[in-house]
Amino acid sequence: MFTGLYYHRLEAKGRLAIPQAFREGLASGGVITSGLDGCLFLFPSSYWQKFSEKLASLPLTNQAARNLTRLLVQSAADLNLDGQGRTLIPEYLRNQANLKKQVVVAGSLTRIEIWDQETYHQHLNLIAQTINEGDALSSLAI
């Protein structure tokens, strides 16, 4: 399970150091792909396998299912960590998430989210404005 928040610099060549706390969960590899809300998702291989099977089982006749599958699968790239725990984020993914020099690497239980730092803080402000609305949380049944 991935928890916590880390601030890192994206190297000029597009390499990003994955926090030490997250590396054990990625020991058997992973997949980095487009995310939602303007970030990238990084899944451990074991979870990606199960998740992709769920995507494959969605009805082909459902447009939302097709679109979600396209978003996540067509942009997916294998995670390759070097000896220093860095990975190269493909340029198309860096551009899609508007990653600049400062990034946030955040644990989200089953996945890691990679955000441009400025975008992340804007998103947090938006969350803070809406999270106090009881109706938004009541539908989650937690």
C-alpha to C-alpha distance for 35 and 26, rounded to whole angstroms: 18
Which tokens in the block code for residue 78? 């294998």
The pLDDT value given to residue 134: 61
DSSP string, 82-117: -TTSEEEPPHHHHHHTT--SEEEEEEEBTEEEEEEH
Which residues touch 1 (CB under 8 Å, ≥6 apart)?
25, 107, 109, 110
Q: Which one-letter amino acid corresponds to residue 30?
A: G
pLDDT (tens digit per residue) in 39-63 = 999 999 999 999 999 999 999 999 9
pLDDT (tens digit per residue) in 77-103 = 999 999 999 999 999 999 999 999 999
Find the farthest-apart pair of alpha carbons in the chain and give their distance in angstroms, rounded: 47
Structural domains of the chain, with CATH: 5-117 (3.40.1550.20)
